[in-house]
Structures are given as structure tokens and as C-alpha cells.
Amino acid sequence: MKKTTKQLWTILSATVALLAAMNCGATTYTAVTSGAWNVAANWSPSTGYPVAGDTAIIPTGKAITGLGGASQACATLTIQGTGSVTVDVNTLTVSGVTTIGSSGAATLTIASGATFASTSTSSGAYVFGGTGSSIVNNGTFTCSGGNGSGGTTPTFQNNGTATFTGSQQEFNSAVAVTQGANATLNLNSSSTSPFGGSSTLTASASGNTVSYGASGVNIKAATYYNLTIGSPSGTWTGGASTIAGTLTIGGTGSYANLSGMTLSGNLAVTGSGTITANASLAVGGNVTVSSGVLYAQYGINVTGTTTVSGGTLQLGNQSSGSGTFSGDFSISSGTFNSGYGGQNDAVAFGGNLTVSGGAFSAGTGVHTFSGSGKTITGTVSIPNVTMSGSYANAGALTVTTALAGSGTLTQNANATLNIGGTSAISNLAASANTPNTVAYTGSGAQTVKATTYDNLTVSGNAV
């Protein structure tokens, strides 16, 4: 069948379009001069610049200094020798392998406010080569895959936010990872070994946070500022790590043994599981329990404040270590239990005690109050109280067994003190602030302390 000229032109146009489409995304662009990504003259061939599906090669000595004011993409990015790429604004997305270095010290830099996104899920989504090659992230770095082996003394300097997802190892055995001040490193891959064997982590800079997301993850033994555990499982794997800022334990999992680390900063329990410390737990900062359970099986010593705001703090056998809350202790909801499992631990308070909600469940162990000029606020019941400091009762304090000590307990106005047993305390000031009430409530014989009272109530056989 003879074809018309119009039909032939239609077929020819379609063929050209098909060939163009087949070639689209398959071009290899090599930088021939330094400059912006989106300038065709900076590349060979000079017919364009790398887009999604293309390969971008930056040879030694060449520098891509920015994206040109818009987001860019390619399939493969290779920075050779001493070449460099700077993501200055917007986002650079690489769907395949990113190689930093081949024989020299290549550099990939992400500026503040910019994003580098590696969307490959392979174990070699990004690879270091050469000697001293580096990634410097001042903005946002995201990776859906892992770090392939390669390179000599490569470095990953994170001064912004770096987030890993997927299922691959985040850093191979050669990488030196350093966290800058206030940086965030989210290790959210399901890999339980985010750091290869000889990799290093420096994470002590002020305000920085390293977050582990995988269940059963091996925590790199290091000095941290802030450390977050998103899925606790089994036992603590961070060895003799030091946490100077805050150790946050969240998620739904549990730790059967949290011990061995040095907590010179704070401890925050925010998950729904049970965190058990099988050795005396010393916290140099503050403790917060907002959900879940913190079980200090062998005692806890808190230098700062203690806040229970929704979870449970329960104490175990403190005979092997002192149980001391040196700062203010407050509970607004949740539970404090010093008599868990009938262990009835001794407890020492050095600050104010405030019970505004929740359950303050004191065991029969002696609860010593050693602070000076402090206050007990709320409805509090403790079987055995020893006052070695000076405290004011500003609520309803019930001492069911023994009120003792060489310190002073002062009744504030409208306060109530219920004494169910002995009252051998040296100083009970119960008359200056009116009205207040002291009630002797024991069912057996009681001796009323000789002092001046505002309101005195006696029941049973008190004399």
C-alpha cells in the first residue's frame, strides 16, 4: 500500500520521538568546568545537564558549586579524585549509587537549608573511595539504603539532620562519624548493626542527638550528648557509654537490664515498656517517667529533680545501693512505688516532695527527709518518716507507724498531720500557722508529743 507524504512524515516524527524517549535518562554527563549544576556549558555533552535517570561524573579538580536555584536529580553520582559537589539550596536526589572519591579526597557538601536524598535501597547506596573523602552535612541528608565498603579514612561530618531508613547498615567499618553541635543523627534502618566493626562515632558536641530506631540494635559505645532509644529490646548494648545530655528510652519495647553506662545527664522514660536496671542506677541530672515503667531493681540515685507524670517508678532492693532523690520529687499522675514486691526500700528525699495526682505508694522502709527549708505538698501517706532536715507540711501527711528524727516538721496553715504510731521527732512546730490540725489516729496506745498545738485531735488510747 503506497503511503502519502503526510503519513511518512508522521511515521518519521514518531520514530524520532521514540528514539529520543529511549535515549532520555540514559545520558552520561561529565563536568568539564566548575560551576552550577544546571548550566549545560559546564558538562560534556553540552546539550544539557544531568536530570533524573542520567549519570553525573565530576572528575578530579572540578567542583559543582550549587544546583542553580532549583532541585535536581540523577540516577548515579560519581565524584572522582578531588572533585566536589555542593548542594546549596533545594534538593539533589540520587536514585542509584553515589560514589564519593576514587583516588583523592572528594567531598559532598550539603549546605544549611538544602537536602541530599539517596533513594536507593541497596547496601551500597553511597560509597566512599580514595583517601580522606567526606560527606559534610550542614542541612538534611536522607538515605534509604546503606553504606557500601570502600575508601580509606572516610568521614561523615553531620552538622544538620541525617536520617537513614530501610534495612541496610548505615556506616561501613571504615567511616569516622562526627556529630556537630545540635546535630541530629536518626539511625532508623532495621539493621541491628548501624556501625561497621572499626567505624568510630564522636557524638559529644553540645546539644547533638543520636537516635537508634531498630529493635535489638547494637548501640555504639561512645560518649553521647543526647541519646534516644526508639525500640528497646533485650539488654543494654551500649557498654560503658557516657550520656552527658539526656538518655531517652521510648517505643513499645523493654529492657531487661539497663546498666553499665554513665548517666551524667538526664534520664527520660517515654515508652510503654518496662525498663529494668539490674544495678544501682546513678543519674547526675533529672529523671522523668512520663509513661511505661522504670524499675530500679537495685536502687536509684538522682542528683537533680525526679518527675513522674504518667508512668511508674518502682524501687527494688536498695540494700545494695542507696536510694536517694537529692532534688525535688513530684508526681502528677502515674505511680511511685517504694514497696514493690514487698521489698520496702529505704528512701531519702533531699528536696521538696509534691504529690498533685497519681499514686504515691510508700513501703514500710524508712523515708528520710534531709533537705533544708523544704515542703511536703499534697496528700501523702508514709508508714515510717525520719526528719533529719527542716520541712513544712503543706497538705495532708499521714505517718502510720513512726515519725522520728532530729530535724523539724512545721505545720503550714490548713495542713493536717495524721500520726498513727510513735512520734519521737525532736521538733514538731504545730502552732504558728493557723489553722492546722495534728491528729493522733492509732488504735492502740499512743504518746502525744509534748508541744504546742493549734488543733489537736486524739482518738484511741493516746495520752
60-93 pLDDT per residue, tens: 999 999 999 999 999 999 999 999 999 999 999 9
pLDDT at 318 exceeding the cut of 80: no
pLDDT at 7 exceeding the cut of 50: no
DSSP lists the bridge partners of residue 127 as: 99, 148
- At which residue does the C-alpha cell 511508674 appear? 312
Task: Please give the mean pLDDT across all residues of the chain.
Answer: 92
In this prediction, residues 196-208 reach a mean pLDDT of 95
Cα angle for residues 298, 237, 215 (degrees, 5° grid):
110
In this prediction, residues 179-197 reach a mean pLDDT of 96
pLDDT at 232 exceeding the cut of 60: yes
In this prediction, residues 127-138 reach a mean pLDDT of 96
Alpha-carbon distances of 125 from 37, 96, 216, 219, 347, rounded to whole Å: 21, 6, 24, 22, 53
Give the pLDDT band of residue 420 (cuts 50, 70, 90): very high
128 contacts 102 by C-beta, under 8 angstroms: no
The lowest-confidence range among 40-49, 289-298, 315-324 is 315-324
Residue 280 CA to residue 158 CA, distance in Å, equals 35
Grid cell for residue 194: 548501624
- Of all residues in the chain, what percent carry a pLDDT higher than 70? 92
In this prediction, residues 260-270 reach a mean pLDDT of 97
Give the pLDDT band of residue 9 (cuts 50, 70, 90): very low
Alpha-carbon torsion angle 267, 340, 297, 319, nearest 10 = 120
DSSP per-residue codes, 233-297: -SB---TT-EESSEEEE-SS--BSB--S-EESSEEEE-SSSEEEESS-EEESS-EEE-SSEEEET
In this prediction, residues 319-327 reach a mean pLDDT of 74
Residue 380 CA to residue 376 CA, distance in Å, equals 8
pLDDT at 279 exceeding the cut of 90: no
In this prediction, residues 44-56 reach a mean pLDDT of 98
In this prediction, residues 194-212 reach a mean pLDDT of 96
The lowest-confidence range among 19-23, 191-195, 352-356 is 19-23
Give the pLDDT band of residue 153 (cuts 50, 70, 90): very high
User: What's the burial of 452, exposed, middle or buried (CB within 10 Å: 0-12/13-18/19+)?
Assistant: exposed
In this prediction, residues 280-284 reach a mean pLDDT of 94
82 contacts 106 by C-beta, under 8 angstroms: yes
Grid cell for residue 326: 537529692
Mention every residue, 6+ apart, whose C-beta is less than 8 A from residue 116: 87, 91, 92, 94, 108, 110, 137, 139, 140, 141, 142
Which helix (H) or strand (E) is 15 found in, with range?
Answer: helix 5-23
131 contacts 153 by C-beta, under 8 angstroms: yes
Q: Please report which residue ranges of 360-452 form alpha helices under DSSP H.
A: none
pLDDT of residue 463: 63
pLDDT of residue 23: 45
In this prediction, residues 381-396 reach a mean pLDDT of 98
Residue 216 CA to residue 189 CA, distance in Å, equals 12
pLDDT of residue 12: 40
pLDDT of residue 112: 98
Give the pLDDT band of residue 444 (cuts 50, 70, 90): confident
Residues in the chain: 463
Alpha-carbon torsion angle 360, 363, 365, 369, nearest 10 = 10
pLDDT of residue 187: 98
In this prediction, residues 138-164 reach a mean pLDDT of 96
Alpha-carbon distances of 390 from 373, 375, 385, 410, 427, rounded to whole Å: 5, 9, 13, 8, 9
pLDDT of residue 456: 98
pLDDT at 105 exceeding the cut of 90: yes
pLDDT at 298 exceeding the cut of 80: yes
pLDDT of residue 322: 56
In this prediction, residues 407-416 reach a mean pLDDT of 98
Residue 182 CA to residue 27 CA, distance in Å, equals 40
The lowest-confidence range among 15-29, 72-86, 256-270, 325-339 is 15-29
pLDDT of residue 341: 81
Nearest Cα residue to 133 out of 87, 84, 96, 94: 84
pLDDT 10s digits, 109-118? 999 999 999 9
In this prediction, residues 365-393 reach a mean pLDDT of 97
Would you give the DSSP letter of residue 42?
G
243 contacts 249 by C-beta, under 8 angstroms: no
Mention every residue, 6+ apart, whose C-beta is less than 8 A from residue 300: 277, 280, 281, 282, 283, 287, 315, 323
**Phi and psi of 440, rounded to 5°?**
-95, 110
